[in-house]
Structure 1
Amino acid sequence: MRIKCPKCHCDNPDDTLYCGKCETPLLSSEEITDSSTKTLETPIKDLTTGVTIVGKYKLLEDLGEGGMGTVFVAEQTEPVRRRVALKIIKLGMDNKAVSGEGVFVFLISIFAIQSSGRES
């Protein structure tokens, strides 16, 4: 299976995280359909580091809050273990009628936060 870059449309091997031509982060079709957007069951007020959301993302660090939501560094536990950036969109910012405290979480990048295996 090949992954087509959403930016330059170049074909890339399915095991690569970035486009070989333009270095855009890549998502497999499984990741796009399964985990790129999910509705949260956890109320927004309970989203703090250490909490696991959508069953497979453990919030590690709050990177900051803006007008539309909050970005976290999270550890994805499946289908592979890696660090990702998650953006939690505030209620009402999704342009859809969402009831209760439901918000949307977007996997905004699969920038697998690469570690060299060395302590900094």
Structure 2
Amino acid sequence: MYPKNIFSIYVTVRNGYSCVPVALSEGLDIRLNTAVRAVRYGVNGVEVWAAPSRSPHTNPTVHKADAVLVTLPLGVLKASTAPSAVAFNPPLPDWKSQAIQRLGFGNLNK
């Protein structure tokens, strides 16, 4: 099936792969059960407005940074008018908003 001169090396992570994100997140301030409500950006950096996801009417906490990497699910980005939508200020450029709306997603069952 395979040529005899090809060999494989199997590597496993001690204590399972869950230790990888734990190690990568060491020293980071990670907020669980927190929903982003708004992202405001400009020449002076970015502000992320977030509130506890279980108490949506709580006053948001503002986190300031030089930059932010937004990794929201496509469905969240598409829901720009829903009450739970993330507001971008200034709004995303038209080309970016149009690309988000054109992208499709769904379930893949094997």
Asked if TM exceeds 0.5, the reply is no
Compare the two structures and name the one with the higher strand fraction. Answer: 1
Q: Which structure features the higher share of helix residues?
A: 2
TM-score normalised to the size of structure 1? 0.28
What's the TM-score once normalised by structure 2's chain length?
Answer: 0.30
